[in-house]
Amino acid sequence: MTGTGGVNDEEILKMLSDNSFVSEKFLEDLFREKLADIAQSPSIQRLIIEIKELKNLPNDWNGLEANKIDSLSINKCLNFVCQLAIRFPHGQTIPYVDPHPDGEVSLTWRNKDIGILNISFSRNDHLTYACIFLNGEKHKGKLHFVKEINSILLRLIDYFN
């Protein structure tokens, strides 16, 4: 038996959406067991590696007194990516990973025909998002991210796919 205990996708989503901390080992096991087909995609592999490598950035990584990237922000971002991979099993547009000087991590989707969507993961139970469409329409907000990905974000991400 492996690290996730052979649970199904619904159980995985429930585990990821509860209020408890999900370990990095669990996430690694999850990607290996439940997302094998999706994780074969070189772009998903690069995204996972890029997010995990942020923990190696030191204090002042940008030369402007930036904070070290917070491990909770990294884990929340990995959790989010994992949930997206389960919810969009046939692929998705791969976001860019952006470290922030305050120690947070964000994912950014850019589409030349639609606009930009940015989701930033804090160390607490919130995430913030901002979306600017080419027609000038803007959406932004702060949402709890302790149970599952909010339907507003799912619709926005789906729109960018």
Q: What is the pLDDT of residues 104-137, one digit of tens each?
A: 999 999 999 999 999 999 888 889 999 999 999 9
Instruction: List the domain boundaries for the chain.
Output: 9-160
Query: Mean pLDDT, to the nearest integer, of 78-87?
Result: 81
Which residue from 73, 76, 5 is spatially nearest to 34, judged by alpha carbons? 5
Q: How far apart are CA 99 and CA 118, in angstroms?
A: 12
pLDDT at res. 1: 35
Residue 78's pLDDT band (cuts 50, 70, 90): confident
Percent of the chain at pLDDT above 70? 70
**Model's pTM, two decimal places?**
0.75
Could you give the strand order of the β-sheet that contains 96-99, starting from the edge strand earlier in sequence? Answer: 96-99, 105-111, 115-121, 126-133, 138-144
